[in-house]
Structure 1
C-alpha cells in the first residue's frame, strides 16, 4: 500500500463516491476530502448529502452533491457529461453503494427484490463505467475502487442474491482492468471490507456487537491508499481483514 506522508496528496483532484451518505461511503468521502480531493458525493437523500457537505467543508475541502437513485440509468448516463462540463475530467471513482437484498432461499426470492439488488449492486456500476470511463482516461492518475464482499467467493445459504451481485461486480472490475491495462494512467481495483460496523452488517447479523468490529473509517483509510497517484497496481483485490493485496490471474 502507498504511504500517506503527504498531508494532502489529492489536492486538485476530483473523486466521485456512490453511497456517500453513510457507512463506508461516508467515511471514504471524508477521507478523500481530508486528503485534498473535491468530492462528488452521490446519494439518495438530499438532507444526508447536505450534512456530509458540512463535514467535508470542516475537513478543509469542497463537494458537489448529486442526489441520485442508482436505479435511474438515464440519470447515470447524463452524469458523465455533466461532470465533464464542470471539471473536464475525473480522477477517482469509488463504487461503494450497495444493498443487502433478501436473506432467504433462492427459490423464495421475489423477482422485484432480485431485480433491485442487481440494479444497484451491479447494473448501476456498469452504467457508471460507461459514463465515467472517458473522464477517468483524462486524468493523469485515474483510480477506481469498487467495493466487493467476501460473499462473492462463498456460496453461503440464504446469501444468494447479494453474493451473485458481488461476484458479478468482481468480474466487471477485473474485465475493465484488463481492458484498460495498457492505459498506464488508469488503475481499477477492488476491496473486500470484511466485517465492519455498518447498518448493512447489523441487518445481516442483528445479534453482533458492533464494538467488536472495525469502523468504517478504518476501511476508508485503506481505500484512500488505493486512490493515490503512486498506487500502480491494477486488477487486484485488497482484502481488508488480512491486509493483503491479492492478484487475479492475467488472461493469456
Structure 2
C-alpha cells in the first residue's frame, strides 16, 4: 500500500476550529496537507484557525457543517474536491460531552449526544468511504472513558462505544480499497471540552492518575493522528487508547 505524496494530499478535520481538532489540522498542515477546517457554529474561531494555517504556508479553508446533517457534510466534501482536487484523510474529531448520571439525564440531551456523536460519525464516515482516494485514512475519535467508566459519563461513553464499533466494522467493509480506518481514544486532555466545569483540585487528581503525571495535550493526540494519516499504514481497524498509561 503506497499513499500519495504528502504534498498532494488533502485532509478534512471536523471540529477543526478548536482543541484537538485545531492542533491536528496544524500538525497535518506541517506535513504538507491542504486542510478543510470544519466547524459547527463559531466562524470566528474557524477563520482564526485558517489564518494560522495560511500564515504557516498551508492551503486551508473553513467550512461550516453540522456533522449529523448528510446534506451539509456532502457539500463539505464537494467543496474539498472542487478546491483541492480530492480528499485523502478524514479526521472526525467533532463531538459533544454533556455530563449527568444516568438516573438524572434528560432524554432530550441523550438524543442530542447520540445525534452528534453517533449519527455524526456515521454521516462523516459514509461520505469518507464513498469519496476517499486510495491510500487514504479515516480517523475517528472515541474516548478512554469507554474503559474508565466514570460516573456521569453514561451518554458520552455509550456514544463513543458506538464510534468504536463503527470503526472496526467499516475497516473490514473497505477491504480492497486501500483505505485504513482507526479510532483514537484519548484520556483526559487539556481542552475546553474537558476542563470546563471542573475544579482545580479535580483536574489535579485526574492528571495524577497517569504514570506520566500530567494531562494529555492536544499536540499529543495530533502526533498520533499524523502517524495514522501518514506512515502508519499497517495499523487498521484498531482503537488506540492514548491516555499516558492511566489504564
Place the TM-score, normalised by the shorter chain, in its bin.
Answer: 0.7 to 0.9
Report the CA distance shift for 1:197/1:154 in structure 2 as closer, same or farther (over 3 A).
closer
CA distance in 2, matches of 1:204, 1:22: 18
How do residues 40-55 of structure 1 correspond to structure 2 at under 5 angstroms?
A: 40-44=36-40, 45-55=42-52
1:216 matched to 2:205? The reply is no
What is the aligned counterpart of 1:12 among 5, 8, 13? 8
Please give the per-residue CA displacement for 1:214-249, whole angstroms capped at 9, x wherever unaligned. Answer: 321121111111100552221012222358xxxxxx
1:71 deviates by 4.0
What is the aligned counterpart of 1:194 among 165, 187, 196? 187
1:110 deviates by 1.2
CA contact (8 A) 2:20 2:218 kept: yes
Please give the per-residue CA displacement for 1:64-88, whole angstroms capped at 9, x wherever unaligned. Answer: 2102233433312333334344444
Q: CA RMSD in A?
A: 2.1
CA distance in 1, matches of 2:79, 2:170: 23
Match of 2:194, SS? Answer: helix
Q: Could you tell me which residue of structure 1 aligns to residue 243 of structure 2?
A: 241
1:115 deviates by 1.2
1:176 matched to 2:178? The reply is no
Q: Could you tell me which residue of structure 1 aligns to residue 113 of structure 2?
A: 117
Q: Could you tell me which residue of structure 2 aligns to residue 163 of structure 1?
A: 157
CA contact (8 A) 2:67 2:123 kept: no
Q: Could you tell me which residue of structure 1 aligns to residue 34 of structure 2?
A: 38
Please give the per-residue CA displacement for 1:98-142, whole angstroms capped at 9, x wherever unaligned. Answer: 1112x2221321122111111111111101122222211xx2310
CA distance in 1, matches of 2:108, 2:74: 23
Q: Could you tell me which residue of structure 1 aligns to residue 228 of structure 2?
A: 226
What is the aligned counterpart of 2:62 among 60, 65, 73? 65
1:186 deviates by 0.3
Greater shift, 167-176 or 42-51, is seen at 42-51
What is the aligned counterpart of 1:146 among 137, 140, 160? 140
1:206 deviates by 3.1
Runs of 4+ displaced beyond 6 Å: none
CA distance in 1, matches of 2:36, 2:112: 24
1:129 matched to 2:125? The reply is yes
CA distance in 2, matches of 1:61, 1:127: 27
CA contact (8 A) 2:14 2:38 kept: yes
CA contact (8 A) 1:181 1:187 kept: no
Report the CA distance shift for 1:230/1:217 in structure 2 as closer, same or farther (over 3 A).
closer
Q: Could you tell me which residue of structure 1 aligns to residue 210 of structure 2?
A: none
TM-score, normalization by structure 1: 0.84
CA contact (8 A) 1:84 1:135 kept: no
Residue ranges of structure 2 left out of the alignment (5+ in a row): 208-212
Residue ranges of structure 1 left out of the alignment (5+ in a row): 1-8, 244-252
